Structure 1
Amino acid sequence: MRVRRALHAGSWYTDSGVELQRQLDYWLNQADLSHGPARAIIAPHAGYQYCGACGGFAYRQISPVVVRRIFVLGPSHHVRLSGCALSIAQIYKTPLYDLSIDTAVNNELENTGEFERMDLDTDEGEHSIEMHLPYIAKVMEKYKNKFKIIPILVGSLSPEREAFYGRILAPYLADPKNLFVISSDFCHWGHRFRYTYYDRSYGSIYQSIEGLDRAGMNIIENMNPTEFTNYLKKYGNTICGRHPIAILLQAIQELLRNDNTQNASLKFLKYAQSSQCRNMNDSSVSYASAALVID
C-alpha cells in the first residue's frame, strides 16, 4: 500500500486535526451557497493563513451528497512535465482522515497512453494538490467512505495539448457524480516573481494587479479557452494554474459541443491578495475562487 504523506502539514497549514476542523468550519461558514451545486471549482493553493478564507467560497458550493469522485488538477511547480501525471499512491494522508485514490479511474486514464506516473517524492514535494486535500476531507466528512480522489499533476502544456486533455476528461466532467477541483493562485507580482506589470491608469499597484486579474477572471467566466490563451500571451499574468484552468475550459467546450441540452455557468465568488503592493519593492500573490454549475 503506497501512502502519500501530508508533508506540508505543520508548515503551510496546521497538523492538528482539531485546529484544522475549527479553521475550515469557520471559513466555510463565512461563505454563502450562491452558485452550486458545483461540478467544478477553482480555488487557491497557498498557505492557509493567506488563502484559506478565499478557498472556503469555492468549497461552500459543493454538494457532498452527490459527489463520489473528485479529480484534483494541480500545476507542477518543481518538476518539468510535458503532459499530465497520475499518482502511484493508493492513500493520501490528511490531519483529518485518509483519502483513497480511485485506482480504477487512474488505470482508465493511464490506458489512454497520455498520462505518466509521478513518483512519491514528486508527489509529496508538490503543494498544489495537497493544499486542497484538507478542504476536500472536511466538506466530504459525512461521506468519507463513499468517495475517492483522482489527483492529476499538470505540466506546461501547449494550447493543443490542453484541448487534448480537455477532450479526455470531458466525459468525466459530464457525470454529476464527479467533481473537478482546479488548483490555481492568480497574479504573483514583484521582483521576486520576475513580474512587475503596472497599468498606472488603475491607481495604486495593487489596484492594477486586481484589474489585471479580473480581466482574466472575466475571460474564464466566458469559458473561452482561446481568449484565455490570448490574454496570457498579451499580459503574461503569472497565474500558476493556467494549464489546469485551460484544461477545464476545453472540457467545458467539448461538453457544450457534444450536448446542446447542457447549460454551463462559471462564476467567480471571491478575490483576495496576500498584501497590497504600493511600491515596486513590494510583492503579493492573488487568490480567487470560482464554481462551475452544469444543468
Structure 2
Amino acid sequence: MDTGKTREASHAGSWYTESEEELNAELDDYLSKAEKTLPEGRLKGIIGPHAGFSYSGPTAAWAYKNIDPTNYKRVILLGPSHHVYLDGCALTLCSTYETPIGNIAIDTDTVKALRDTGEFEDFSLKQDETEHSLEMHLPYIKKIFGDHPFSLVPIVVGSINYKSEQKYGKLLSEYVEDDETLFIISSDFCHWGRNFDYMPYEKDVDESISGYIKHLDTQGMDIIEEQDGKKFVNYLKETENTICGRHPITVFLEAIKHSSLKTVTKFVKYAQSGEIHSKYDSSVSYASSYTVVDI
C-alpha cells in the first residue's frame, strides 16, 4: 500500500489565503483577540469549527489559544465527511499534509495500527483533498505547534449510528489516556435556512430567529459539557439540529467514557455567521470548547 503521498492544501486560496505571510498575520490577529480560558489541569481535547476563516477563524482561536504544544507529541484530528458516504471511519493514505505555513507529518505508525484493527476504510487522495473539515484545522494546528515536533492522525468519521460511535470511541480510548496525545474535533453547529433544509423556529422561546438558533445550539452544547454521548444522540434525534460534526463529537465523548480519566468539558466561545432577519436568510453557527483532565 502506497502511503507516501502528500495532501495539498486544496482549499488555500478560496476558504483561506494561500499567502504564508497573510495567513500568519490573520491567525496572529485571531489569537491575539481570544482569551486563554483553560483551568488547572491537562488539556485533552478541543472542539472547533471548520468554515472559511473569515467566518469561523475568530471562534476557533478561543479553542486553540488553550494549547501548550510542548505537552504533546501526537494530535488526533476527527472530522465529518461532507462529500463521501462512509458507514464507518476512514484513514488517510498520505504521509504529509501541506499548509501555506508549513507541512505537517502524519503519524503513519498510529495510522497503521488503527488500519490493522480492520475497523477503518481508506480515504483516497482525491477524497482527502476534497474534504474541508480536517483541512480547515491544519493551519491553526501548524501555527500553534510551530517547530515543536509532533505528528498528526487524521480520521474522517462517516454517518455512523450510536453503536458504531461507541465502538470507535472504545477503540480510541487508549489514546485519550495517553498524556502526550491531544484530540481535536472539527464541527460547525446549526446550519439554518432553506439551503440546509432546516428552518425550525419557536417564537415563544425568543423573539428573533437568531436567538432561537442560539437556544437550540446551547441545548446541544450543554449536553456535550455533560459528556453524555447517548443523551447527545437523543437530542439530535429530537431537534434534528444540523450539527455536521455530530458523529466525531459523539465518538470523542464515547472515547472519554471508555477511558479511565475524569474530564471536564466547557464551551468558551459561540458565534453565528450572520443575523437572521427573515426566512430567506441563512446562518451557520460556530462554537469552541476545551476538555481538560480534572485534577
TM-score above 0.5, yes or no? yes
User: 1:226 offset after TM fit, Å?
Assistant: 1.1
Asked whether the 8 Å contact 1:81–1:154 carries over to 2, the reply is: yes
* Cα displacement string for residues 126-183 of structure 1 (whole angstroms, at most 9, x for unaligned residues): 000000000000000041xx10000001100100000000000011011120011100
**Structure 2 runs not aligned, ≥5 long:** none
Q: CA deviation at 1:26?
A: 1.2
Alignment correspondent of 1:164? 167
Establish whether residue 54 from structure 1 lines up as the match of residue 59 from structure 2.
yes
Q: Which of the residues 230, 239, 246 maps onto 2:250? A: 246
| Bigger mean CA offset, 29-38 vs 80-89 | 29-38
Secondary structure of the equivalent of 1:136?
A: helix
**Distance between the aligned counterparts of 1:129 and 1:189, measured in 2?**
22
Question: What is the one-letter code of the residue matched to 1:104?
Answer: D
Opposite residue 188 of structure 2, the aligned amino acid is: D
Q: Which amino acid aligns with 2:19?
A: S
Aligned twin of 1:220: 224
* Corresponding residue of 1:149: 152
Q: Which amino acid aligns with 2:50?
A: H
- Paired position in structure 2 for 1:30: 33
Q: Which amino acid aligns with 1:119?
A: S
Distance 1:173 1:9 in 2: 31
Question: Could you say which residue in structure 1 is the equivalent of 2:180?
Answer: 177
- TM superposition outliers: structure 1 runs of 4+ over 2 Å: none
Say if 1:274 and 1:285, in contact at 8 Å, map to a contact too. Answer: yes
Corresponding residue of 2:120: 115
**One-letter code aligned to 1:237:** N
Could you say which residue in structure 2 is the equivalent of 1:76?
A: 81
Q: Report the 3-state secondary structure (helix = DSSP H, G, I; strand = E; otherwise coil) of the residue aligned with 2:201.
A: coil
Distance in 1 separating the partners of 2:225 and 2:277: 28
One-letter amino acid of the structure 2 residue matched with residue 294 of structure 1 = V
Choose the corresponding residue for 1:63, options 55, 68, 77. 68
Distance (whole Å) between structure 2 residues aligned to residue 63 and residue 263 of structure 1: 20
Cα deviation 1:221-254 (Å, max 9, x = unaligned): 0001111011000000000000000001101111
By how many angstroms is 1:285 displaced? 0.2
Could you tell me which residue of structure 1 aligns to residue 241 of structure 2? Answer: 237
The answer to whether the aligner puts 1:92 opposite 2:97 as a matched pair is yes
Q: 2: CA distance between counterparts of 1:50 and 1:243? A: 23
Contact 1:188–1:195 (8 Å) recurs in 2: yes
The DSSP-based 3-state class of the residue aligned with 1:199 is coil
Deviates more, 1:245-254 or 1:29-38: 29-38
- Gap runs ≥5 in structure 1: none
How much does 1:263 deviate? Answer: 2.4
Counterparts of 2:286 and 2:181, CA distance in 1: 24
Q: Which residue of 1 aligns with 2:207?
A: 203
Q: Deviations over 1:186-222 (max 9, x none)?
A: 0000011000011112111000000000010000000
Counterpart secondary structure, 1:65: helix
* Partners of 1:109 and 1:115 within 8 A in 2: yes
- How many Å separate the matches in 2 of 1:277 and 1:176? 43
1:204 and 1:93 map into 2 onto residues whose CA distance is 42
Residue 276 of structure 2 is matched in structure 1 by 277
The equivalent of 1:135 in structure 2 is 140
Query: What TM-score, normalized by structure 1, do the two folds share?
Result: 0.96
Identity fraction in percent: 48
Contact 1:128-1:184 at 8 Å conserved across structures: yes
Q: CA deviation at 1:38?
A: 2.1
Corresponding residue pairs, total: 288
| C-alpha contact (below 8 Å) 1:166/1:247 kept by paired residues | yes
**Aligned-pair Cα RMSD in Å:** 0.8
Deviations 1:89-144 (A, max 9, x none): 0010000001000000001101111011110000000000000000000000041x
Separation (CA, whole Å) in 2 of partners of 1:200 and 1:176: 46
**Does structure 2 retain, via aligned residues, the 8 Å contact 1:35–1:267?**
no
